[in-house]
Chain A
Amino acid sequence: MKILLDEEKCVGAGQCVLAAGDVFDQRDSDGIAVLLDEHPGQERSGAVETAAQLCPAQAIRIEKG
């Protein structure tokens, strides 16, 4: 799967880091989310889907495949 993160939409709530801290992080400078792993393994799909669902700015999209 491929993760698409829209930094422009991100509001820095940190929900994605709580859900999948090995896939998402927050930049120290401005708190905006960054991707640590653009192509996480299938075993992370549950955590990544949770992150996408919880993101208050709906800034995370997942491309399956």
Chain B
Amino acid sequence: MTAPALQIARECPYAPPAQHVEMRENGGVSRVRLPSGKEAWAVSRLDLIREMLSDPRFSSDRDNPNYPALATVPPPPPSGGSRKLLIQLDPPDHAPARRAVISEFTIRRMAALKPRIQEIVDERIDAMLAGPRPADLVEALSLAVPSLVICELLGVPYTDHEFFQTRTAAILHRDTPPQERGATYAALRAYLTELVCGKVREPGDDVLSRQLAAGADTEDVVALALLLLVAGHETTANMISLGVLTLLERPERLAWLIADPARMPEAVEELLRYFTIVEYGNSRVATADVELGGVLIRAGDGVVSLSNTADHDPEVFPDADELKLDRGARNHLAFGFGPHQCLGQNLARAELDIVFTTLFRRMPTLRLAVPAGQVPFKSDATIYGIHRLPVTWDE
């Protein structure tokens, strides 16, 4: 008997697909068929996902042909035969590679960056207020802020933002044909190789130049730049758009939230849990026979984590399908778990906090310019989000 096809699109933008919930309630380890036709396991319980992501017998290597990609046609290896990305490294290669960059993303470094993030957010809101109404919040703010911040951190010219934003979107789109996906990775690599070679000749005050100064070779720095650039703007952008939409739809909660800026960090954490936008991102390949949740997973089997479903488990988060801005729970999987947990998570927290706080303070009459039901959600991407968010405001 063939396994049921894994449903990927959400029926409701704010809740996991019913199929995933059923799998979670039936033990949490289920056999599924991927869009490519290959079979894999889907893990849908928080404790089991944490267990899997902490177990070194599960490999992160996206170049492995058994890696459970969600693309309709299996994509080419993201490394393109070149250096692997940090997110695909296994022990013992992963720890030293990650340790080489952690210092750039510590809590203290991110706190020091906040004044500059604030300036960037204020400049984008100035531009919105001076521009036409309605405006697309995704372009004007959601994508612009994290792109500007990651560009400054990496020393990438923001004038090239259209180039990397459109290519990142193509990589994350599930239906992008494999040739196009391969060509897109190659174009980004070529762009970043030229950029990094420029920094070899003329170092700047940025993460990539410091990696080179510390002895990393050009190819390693290009691989790091590729990962940080792609992961550093699209994810946060989607959380900004989803957060703004959700808060605008709940005016009483929004009023409560902005009445005290100290409430924002917990609210950001709850929005991260509620949407868990990297809902399939923590997939693995078993490199040995492993028992998980009473099920034997064979060496070579692919395993997909249904993180959004796990983060909506009422046994872990009471009334899990409700957005409770003061829930105060940080044990969600929005940033993953295990040694690969998001390197930029504290940058994302800082950006979301500053964007929401500043936007609703400076644009108190901000509202949707279309009915909420017409907002186009990204059911076609591997990272959940919103394509366009038309908003307007009073002068």
Contact = CB atoms under 8 A, between A and B. Distances in A.
Tell whether A and B belong to one assembly.
yes
Interface of A: 11-15, 17-19, 21, 26-32, 50, 53-54, 56-58
Interface SS of A by simple majority: loop
Nearest to B103: A31
Nearest to B265: A18
Contacts of B341: 11, 13, 15, 56-57
B99 A56 contact: no
Contacts of A17: 107
B330 A54 contact: yes
Contacts of A19: 330
Among B53, B339, B340, B342, the most chain A Cβ lie within 10 Å of the Cβ of: B339
Contact of B331 (A13, A31, A54): A54
Contacts, number: 67
B193 interface: no
Given A56-B337, A56-B341, A57-B338, A11 B108 contact: no
Given A54-B330, A58-B54, A14 B339 contact: no
A31 B106 contact: yes
Given A14-B345, A56-B336, A32 B107 contact: no
B9 to A, nearest CB: 29
Give the top 7 A-B pairs by smallest Cβ distance, nearest first. Answer: A31-B102, A12-B102, A56-B341, A26-B106, A31-B103, A14-B107, A17-B107
Nearest to B330: A54
A11 B341 CA distance: 8
A11 B54 CA distance: 12
B98 interface: yes
A64 B336 CA distance: 29
Among B53, B99, B107, the most chain A Cβ lie within 10 Å of the Cβ of: B107
Nearest to B100: A30
B360 interface: no
A23 to B, nearest CB: 13
Contacts of A26: 102, 106-108
B210 to A, nearest CB: 12
Given A56-B336, A57-B339, A58-B54, A11 B103 contact: no
A59 to B, nearest CB: 10
Interface in B325-367: 330-331, 335-343, 345-346
B331 A28 contact: no
Contact of B102 (A11, A15, A56): A11
B191 interface: no
A18 B337 CA distance: 16
30 contacts: A11-B95, A11-B98, A11-B102, A11-B339, A12-B99, A12-B102, A12-B103, A13-B335, A13-B341, A13-B343, A13-B345, A14-B106, A14-B345, A15-B330, A18-B107, A18-B330, A18-B346, A26-B102, A26-B106, A27-B103, A30-B99, A31-B102, A31-B103, A32-B102, A56-B53, A56-B54, A56-B336, A56-B338, A57-B338, A57-B341
A46 B106 CA distance: 23
A55 to B, nearest CB: 9
Nearest to B110: A14
B99 A31 contact: yes
A28 B108 contact: yes
Contact of A56 (B95, B104, B339, B346): B339
A1 B330 CA distance: 23
Given A12-B343, A32-B102, 20 more contacts: A11-B95, A11-B98, A12-B103, A13-B342, A13-B343, A14-B106, A14-B345, A14-B346, A15-B330, A17-B107, A18-B107, A19-B330, A29-B103, A31-B105, A31-B106, A53-B331, A56-B54, A56-B337, A56-B339, A56-B341
Among B102, B330, B339, the most chain A Cβ lie within 10 Å of the Cβ of: B102
Interface in B82-117: 95, 98-99, 102-108
Interface string B265-278: 00000000000000
A30 B104 CA distance: 8
A30 B338 CA distance: 18
Contacts of B53: 56
A15 B54 CA distance: 16
A16 B201 CA distance: 39
